Amino acid sequence: MADEVILLDYWVSPFGMRVRIALAEKGIKHEYREEDLRNKSPLLLQMNPVHKKIPVLIHNGKSICESLIAVQYIDEVWNEKSPLLPSDPYQRSQARFWADYVDKKIYEVGRNLWTKKEKNKKLPRRNS
């Protein structure tokens, strides 16, 4: 029996992109389901009842939430393929450092820009 792998995601999510890259690197066939973040699907709410957010990796009916946890899970389950992280402990620590940096710094900047853009759309335009 083949593994059933489903990814609940939103195309612009950097966290979802992280999981999509891991799936692609491992060559894992999966079903991609785009989520409407303003109208979350019953499946998303069922599979991630704690945070109710994407991405959610579903493997044979079991949910794996949070992108870094999902990437680690992918690497451990499909371990017959090349590992996603370097084998050297120092190099692995550096990869984790940069993943954490993206989570804490880059994402925040992107979110602030997106929020500002959305607020500007709502402001009345001034004629010059």
Summarised one tens digit per residue, pLDDT across range 22-41 is 999 999 999 999 999 999 99
In whole angstroms, how far apart are CA 119 and each of 52, 85, 112? 24, 39, 10
DSSP letter, residue 103: I
Q: Of 68, 50, 46, which is closest to residue 58 (Cα–Cα)?
A: 46
Distance CA 44, CA 89 (A): 35
Please state whether the peptide bond connecting residue 55 to the residue before it is cis, i.e. omega within 30 degrees of 0. Answer: yes
Lowest mean pLDDT among 44-58, 65-79, 82-96, 108-122: 108-122
User: In angstroms, rounded to a whole number, what is the distance separating the alpha carbons of residues 64 and 49?
Assistant: 12
| 3-class SS string, 50-89 | CCCCCCEEEECCEEEECHHHHHHHHHHHCCCCCCCCCCCH
The answer to whether the beta carbons of residues 14 and 106 sit under 8 Å apart is yes
Give pLDDT tens digits for 101-113. 888 887 777 777 7
φ and ψ at 110, to 5 degrees?
A: -60, -40
